[in-house]
Structure 1
Amino acid sequence: MEKQPLILITGAAGFIGSCVVQFFNEQGRENIVLADKFTDLQKERNWKDKKYKYLVDRELLLEWLDENKPNLEFIIHLGARTNIREKSNIVLQEMNVEYSEDVWNYATAYNIPMVYASSAATYGNGELGFTDDDNTINDLQPLNEYATSKHNFDKWAVQQLNAPPYWAGLKFFNIYGPNEYHKGEGCSIVLKTFKQIEESNTVTLYKSNSDRFEDGGQLRDFVYVKDVAKLIWWMYETMIHKQWQPEKNGLYNVGTGEARSFKDVAILVFKALGKEPNITYTEMPEDIAGGFRGVSEATTIKLKHAGYNEPFTSLEEGIEDYIKNYLAKKPV
């Protein structure tokens, strides 16, 4: 058994996971077990320069844990199938529900604090608001298979009598930032906008399908991935030092609490590239129009009550850092 406590991070080669590993490395933590499918060469640059103790294939993780019995002090479970266009319920059940249940049960059996990734997509069309109240979770109606899978695990988690000593399910809103280059159509609107400008010096946004919004005026709560990593670090420190009370266990929104428009994003990307905005608009495809929310904005009171008071990066600052220090320097 390892003498030095280890931190397990699943999904470590992915967008958010690799940024969390980077942040933990920057705080001096190298005693990390990275779990993911490391055979995906497209994501290799996300993890190959990170500092870690063990690299474990996702499919062999539970077997590896049973055989090696590592001294884990904390689990950060970010591994999931995050493609919102994924239609296979078999894949989503395996990756987003059963895998999460296995990690949860391991954390419970060995009394290990744990945080895991949920999604704001679980709120559906937003008609019921975006309040992270565990007691109203059964009222939510997700709009696609991916969101339903994340919602199903959230419901399962809050119902468990046997649970990790301290835990939190993090409902991520619209995350953007470094290391998302491999996500294809699932990447953030910031990266999509950057690519459009690089290719054509124009950006095309959807026209509004509601009288409430101008074209491109639909609102989202955009969160810089570095803020997510900082929050998870805070939860890690709070939980391992037993400053987290069991009554705080539950679901938490991870958002700035201030929604901004797609048009704002486009203008800010143009500005970061030193270019004048050139925006056109196109009709919203019928296959997404029915499930396209006009507004998505986190309520953040619960997180603040838990003790987290760090400010979130403004959209202006986040986009400028992302463009100038990452996208403009590396091939996408």
Structure 2
Amino acid sequence: MKVLITGGAGFIGSNLALTLQKNYEVVVLDDFFSGHFKNLIGFEGDIISESILDVDLNQFKDVDVIFHQAAITDTTVSDQRLMMKINTEGFKRFLNFAIENNTTFIYASSAATYGNAPAPQKEEDAGKPNNIYGFSKWICDCIAKRCMEKYPDAHIVGLRYFNVFGPREQFKGKMASMVWQLMKQMLEGKRPRIFKWGEQKRDQVYVKDIVNINLLAMKAKESCIVNAGTGRAVSFNHIIEVLNSILGFEYEPEYIDNPYEEFYQNHTEADLTKAKKYLGYKPKWTFEDAVKDYVEWLKKNNYI
């Protein structure tokens, strides 16, 4: 079986590529605008370095599954036209191609589609995003839902990623997870900085669980859009406690004002009812075990 991963040099895409190549023929498509070649060290498949907006899709007619991960993921980007062009128009192009060619289509949606919906967030709570990134992903979901209704035999799965962390995120810079950002500050001898008073909560999901839910999506019995998280929210204070324990530090957090308070998501937590129902998904990693595994990977690969 042959699979295509758009955005395959990015954080999640590269983890998918390295896992899938063990059993499948894998092609990575990435323009390397935000992806990094070091994420693909160990990858032995084909790499096409073109934009999702321009690449000739006819060369992918023999592909059985498309994992569409490519997107602008920097939520601070304010260029609305650019965000919609890449995230939504690019998505639509590959979705239509998949439907026309009877290709399984699995794509990355986002918890940003929920905006300030109360936790735990259920799939039907989406639709009031706080930024253009979340809006671009919400419109992708709307397009996907219409296609699911129009083409009941199509295999389309949308995965609403919550806060993903883990190996190969270090090249994301300011958009890397809070786990990586706080760990980096502590390793540099600085007190970890978080918004007052550190009780904001996020569903922090390990990238290995995200890879797993993508694999499960390949076998989905029907099209669906589901949450991809852990079902457990972790406070920023707790992240620091866990990092101190694993790294052997005793840092106290430095609390700072939150400049984004007006539209900030203070509590994200995935309701996994539909993910379990449609995909049989159950997260394997606790937050504490995941951070420990992540630190071991970073040490092994000389990143810390």
1:218 corresponds to: 200
**Paired residues for 1:255-270 under 5 Å:** 255-270=229-244
1:179 to 144, 168, 181: 168
Q: How far did 1:199 drift?
A: 1.6
Amino acid in structure 1 at the alignment position of 2:200: Q
The one-character-per-residue Cα deviations of 1:185-233 (angstroms, maximum 9, x if unpaired) are: 11100010111101224212110xxxxxxx1011110000011011111
Secondary structure of residue in 1 paired with 2:56: helix
Q: 1:327 to 1:99 in 2, by over 3 A?
A: farther
Residue 9 of structure 2 contacts residue 32 of structure 2 at CA under 8 Å; is this kept in 1?
Answer: yes
Amino acid in structure 2 at the alignment position of 1:291: F
1:253 corresponds to: 227
The one-character-per-residue Cα deviations of 1:225-258 (angstroms, maximum 9, x if unpaired) are: 011011111222x1xxxxx333xx1210001111
Scaled by the length of structure 1, the TM-score of the pair is: 0.85
Q: How far did 1:69 drift?
A: 5.0
2:192 to 191, 195, 203: 203
CA distance in 1, matches of 2:74, 2:239: 22
* Structure 2 stretches lacking a partner, 5+ long: none
Scaled by the length of structure 2, the TM-score of the pair is: 0.93
* Structure 1 stretches lacking a partner, 5+ long: 208-214, 239-243
Residue 193 of structure 1 contacts residue 266 of structure 1 at CA under 8 Å; is this kept in 2?
Answer: yes
Q: 1:69 to 1:7 in 2, by over 3 A?
A: closer
Residues 7-16 or 266-275, more deviating: 266-275
Aligned length: 302
CA distance in 2, matches of 1:269, 1:128: 25
Amino acid in structure 2 at the alignment position of 1:46: N
Structure 1 stretches of 4+ moved >6 Å: none
Residue 113 of structure 1 contacts residue 166 of structure 1 at CA under 8 Å; is this kept in 2?
Answer: yes
**Paired residues for 1:1-332 under 5 Å:** 5-25=1-21, 27-29=22-24, 31-38=25-32, 43-52=36-45, 54-59=46-51, 63-66=55-58, 68=59, 70-127=61-118, 130-133=121-124, 137=126, 140-160=127-147, 161-162=150-151, 165-207=154-196, 215-236=197-218, 238=219, 244-246=220-222, 249-285=223-259, 288-326=260-298, 329-331=301-303
Q: 1:166 to 1:154 in 2, by over 3 A?
A: same
Please provide the CA RMSD for this pair: 2.1
Seq. identity, % = 28
